[in-house]
Structure 1
Amino acid sequence: MTKEFAVPPVVFPSGGNPSVVSIQKRRVPSAPFQPSRATNPSIPFMSFDIGSVTTASPSPATLYGGPIGGGATTFEAEEPLLDELGIHPDQIRRKTLSILNPVRVNAHPHTDSDLSGPVLYYVAFSLFQLLAGKIQFGVILGWIVVSSMFLYVVFNMLAGRTGNLDLHRCTSIVGYCILPVTVFSAVSLCLPAGGVVSFVMAGLFVLWSTRVCTSLLVQSCPDCEEHGGLIAYACFLIYMLFAMLVIF
């Protein structure tokens, strides 16, 4: 048995279909985190459109203080890398050419001492010895230091108060004058070991180095011309030791 309940009819104020009324009264949801124009009309609607962005981000040129091409002038004004390291190829070339003429030695390029050229010749000398099967990097470096100090002491003792040769310049002169011995170490690779030809050529190259080194030292102190023989003997001993490394 079904029981019936008396339900009063529902009357809508506007009348008509209730579904249509609900659709008309439905509010369109706004974007999240966006203020309503009705509540605050002074704040503009923020969208993600690129063209609507009013605040432009600073350009990289502004951040780094100028246009992108403005750094070229500063880069061109900088010194070359070799000059910053103290390596001057033109100076090394001029000093090398002065060494290659043992008859007429020009001491003017050697007024400014440097160690870049001597280090180059020392490394070349050691590499030629390595090609000959002799690992003598430490021996050559040690003899370089000892021979430079030995010649520095001998020259200043002979020159007395008039001597103005410092250890840096003495090392530079000894290093540049080892070029003939370096050439001999390269030529000896094609010669028979322990032959007469090797001894003769060793004597010629040692005399070449001795002549150039003595001339450079004497021209640096004109008062030492009377002691040229003693200075030449000290130079001869130094370069003879390097020549013996090549022969034996």
Structure 2
Amino acid sequence: MANKEFKVPPVAFPSAGNPGGAAPNIQQRRMPTPPFQPNSGIPFMSFDIGSATKSTSSGPIYTGPSMGGGGSANFDDEEPLLDELGIHPDQIWSKIRSVLNPFRVNHTVHKDSDLSGPILLYMAFCLFQLLARKIQFGVILGWIVVSSIFLYFVFKMLSGRTGNFDLHTCTSVVGYWLLPVVYFSALSRFFLPIERVNCLSIASIFVLGAMKGSAGLVVSLADGGDEHRGLIAYASFLIYTLFSLLVIF
């Protein structure tokens, strides 16, 4: 059996004096290039600070929102801070004016219940009590919470499932009709005599006004409470009698 010969092409290595490699007609083995090199097939972007400065010097650079006249339009579109917090001074003032006359209460302004006005009246009541050397911040706040829950459960037990009176609206009603008691606290501190008999007789006027106004407001804001007006008025009478006793004693 004859041996078969294979022709192997010669391999030429570049010499030290010829860095360019061998002649073009001689095949040369190509060594793989490492990645991310300028002559590789993968695109690579280099960052040069000098070239970036030259390229951006000819055009405008965006540095964020302008604080000049153009940026002021964004602040004009935003709502005031009191509106974002849910405090509307015009609405509070209109509700307070409607409470001034318990015989002619504007029920439409109280449909949107809020707690900003009751908190304001609560602070005024505590301030007048503080001027009378009575520190009752926690007592008054606790009685407001308990009174609102009490009136809410009284109405719910009377109306059943037909009533649409929630606790938030009940707290708003109780807080706004605290205004007659605040008046009585201011008058007893500055104008009224110290005798408790006279204070009781004058306090009954403010309590009856608050009772009538709050009962009528509860009946008008809720459905199914007209037939239970007397019992709701009695619960309101108990609530504002307690607040007036804080002023007297």
Q: TM-score range by the shorter chain?
A: 0.7 to 0.9
- Structure 1: where are the runs of 5+ without partners? 1-52
Greater C-alpha Rg: 1
8 Å CA contact 2:162–2:224 kept in 1: the answer is yes
SS of residue in 1 equivalent to 2:189:
helix
193-202 vs 160-169, which deviates more? 193-202
Q: 1:137 to 1:223 in 2, by over 3 A?
A: same
How many residue pairs were aligned?
196
- TM-superposed CA distance for 1:62, in Å, is 2.9
RMSD of the TM alignment (CA)? 2.1
8 Å CA contact 1:162–1:223 kept in 2: the answer is yes
Q: 1:172 to 1:63 in 2, by over 3 A?
A: same
Residues 184-233 of structure 1: per-residue CA shift (max 9 Å, x gap)? 10111022333333112100010111011001011123532121110000
Alignment partner, residue 27 of structure 1 = none
Alignment partner, residue 178 of structure 1 = 178
Q: 1:60 to 1:86 in 2, by over 3 A?
A: farther
Does residue 247 of structure 1 match 2:213? no
Q: Which has the higher helix share?
A: 1
**Inter-partner Cα distance in structure 1 for 2:176 and 2:147:** 13
Normalised by the length of structure 2, the TM-score is: 0.74
8 Å CA contact 1:61–1:67 kept in 2: the answer is no
**Inter-partner Cα distance in structure 2 for 1:78 and 1:59:** 33
**Inter-partner Cα distance in structure 2 for 1:94 and 1:212:** 15
Residues 75-95 of structure 1: per-residue CA shift (max 9 Å, x gap)? 111100100111001110111
- TM-superposed CA distance for 1:172, in Å, is 0.5
Normalised by the length of structure 1, the TM-score is: 0.74
Q: 1:149 to 1:143 in 2, by over 3 A?
A: same
Q: 1:54 to 1:111 in 2, by over 3 A?
A: same
Q: 1:61 to 1:165 in 2, by over 3 A?
A: farther
% identity of equivalent residues: 60
**Inter-partner Cα distance in structure 2 for 1:132 and 1:160:** 43
Partner amino acid for 1:194? E
8 Å CA contact 1:164–1:221 kept in 2: the answer is yes
**Inter-partner Cα distance in structure 1 for 2:112 and 2:163:** 17
Q: 1:245 to 1:57 in 2, by over 3 A?
A: farther
Does residue 108 of structure 1 match 2:108? yes
Partner amino acid for 2:157? M
- Structure 2: where are the runs of 5+ without partners? 1-52
**Inter-partner Cα distance in structure 2 for 1:69 and 1:239:** 55
Q: How does 1:20-31 map to 2 (within 5 A)?
A: none
Does residue 85 of structure 1 match 2:90? no
**Inter-partner Cα distance in structure 2 for 1:186 and 1:233:** 25
Q: 1:60 to 1:74 in 2, by over 3 A?
A: farther
**Inter-partner Cα distance in structure 2 for 1:88 and 1:121:** 15
Alignment partner, residue 33 of structure 1 = none
SS of residue in 1 equivalent to 2:62:
helix
8 Å CA contact 1:162–1:221 kept in 2: the answer is no
Alignment partner, residue 222 of structure 2 = 221
